[in-house]
Amino acid sequence: DYMYVMKCSKDGEFTKGELSRFGNIQLSPSAGVLNYGQASLLKENGKVLLFRPDHNAVRMQHGAERMLMPSPSVDQFVDAVKQTALANKRWVPPSGKGSLYIRPLLMGTGPVLGLGPAPEYTFIVYASPVGNYFKEGVAALDLYVEEEYARAAPGGSGGVKSITNYAPVLKALSRAKSLGFSDVLYLDSVKKKYLEEASACNVFVVKGRIISTPATNGTILEGITRKSVMEIAGDQGYQVVEKAVHVDEVMDADEVFCTGTAVGVAPVGTITYQDKRVEYETGDESVCQKLRSVLVGIQTGLVEDTKGWVTCIN
């Protein structure tokens, strides 16, 4: 129903924002480039819960800095997300039937013709109910290792949540989907041997009690779910390692799983790389399922939040 809009003038100060009816916004054809971040909202027993909104705020600030944009303060960001969530509360799906997805957008809306930063910016937060990522229980993902198209190059924008990372890989994703895969697994763009991430989630590889995940070296997004799952896995006694993960190690793993706001923690059933296809453990006893039940439990209020990750706003 409602969106939150806040403008930033040339001096870099965001003015007080306000809620308005959701609708089209007017943009000059010469408006500058965009950058976005996201946060999630869930509800259990009538409570509206936000998962780590402050971390999403800081991530937007990092993205803004990389894209030469001013950004709202953490307080301004979190307040805008809360107001948007509460104003759209009637759209929060019933317990277990999905969540209300909150999307904050920061964009250069002032006119600019030559290459350079826009003179004015707009911060918008809108919301949409989304169903569960997995319609019929958690299904294992089938991933295709992409070798032709790269997601991000060293020094580029892969480390921040920017729209510039998504358009270049739409073709790879659509090709993988047409071949029956769920998603694409990207390799580094230099050696084409080291694991990066999937289209919108981070990736973990399990061998025995060791859980490895690609180090955030500027080409992959530092997911908030990734960070949370690393902490939960450490609490449970697993050895969590951030490093360069070779594709051969992925093909030799016991388990592979993905993490992200939309998927939560999702098991990978198969990976196809060149002419090889490997199957992984995905059962109820898997590391992935154990970590998933803790994380999703905390997010939905079913598991006690001893970490202070969840904020109830009503």
For residues 265, 216, 37 and 45, what is the CA-based torsion angle, rounded to 10 degrees?
30
d(CA 15, CA 76): 10
Using the rule CB under 6 A, which residue among 67, 100, 140, 224 binds ligand PMP? 224
Using the rule CB under 6 A, which residue among 72, 260, 264, 267 binds ligand PMP? 260
Cβ distance to ligand PMP smaller for residue 43 or 226:
226
Residues β-bridged to residue 14: 8
Cβ distance to ligand PMP smaller for residue 88 or 299:
299
The active-site residue, picked from 43, 82, 89, 161, is 161
Cβ distance to ligand PMP smaller for residue 120 or 188:
188
Distance of closest approach, residue 62 Cβ to ligand PMP, in angstroms: 12
Residues 80, 17: contact at Cβ < 8 Å? yes
276 is catalytic: no
Cβ distance to ligand PMP smaller for residue 81 or 200:
200
Residues β-bridged to residue 258: 203, 266
Number of residues this chain uses to bind ligand PMP (CB under 6 A): 13
Residues 104, 81: contact at Cβ < 8 Å? yes
256 is an interface residue for ligand PMP by CB under 6 A: no
Q: At what angle do helices 224-235 and 287-300 cross, to 10 degrees?
A: 110
226 is an interface residue for ligand PMP by CB under 6 A: yes
Closest of 263, 266, 220, 264 to residue 242, by C-alpha: 220
Using the rule CB under 6 A, which residue among 259, 272, 282, 299 binds ligand PMP? 259
141 is an interface residue for ligand PMP by CB under 6 A: no
213 is an interface residue for ligand PMP by CB under 6 A: no
How would DSSP label each residue in 138-196? ---EEEEEESSS-S--TTSSTTS--GGGTGGGHHHHHHHHHTT-SEEEEEPTTTS-BEE
Cβ distance to ligand PMP smaller for residue 28 or 128:
128
Sole residue written with tokens 């946060």: 39
d(CA 218, CA 75): 26
Cβ distance to ligand PMP smaller for residue 22 or 133:
133
d(CA 208, CA 267): 16
List the interface residues with ligand PMP, window 3-62 (CB under 6 A).
38
Number of residue whose CB is nearest ligand PMP: 223
Binding mask 192-211 for ligand PMP (x = CB under 6 A): -----x--xxx---------
Using the rule CB under 6 A, which residue among 88, 261, 272, 300 binds ligand PMP? 261
| Coil vs helix vs strand at 34 | strand
264 is an interface residue for ligand PMP by CB under 6 A: no
Interface residues with ligand PMP (CB under 6 A) are 38, 197, 200-202, 221, 223-226, 259-261
As annotated, the active-site residues are 161
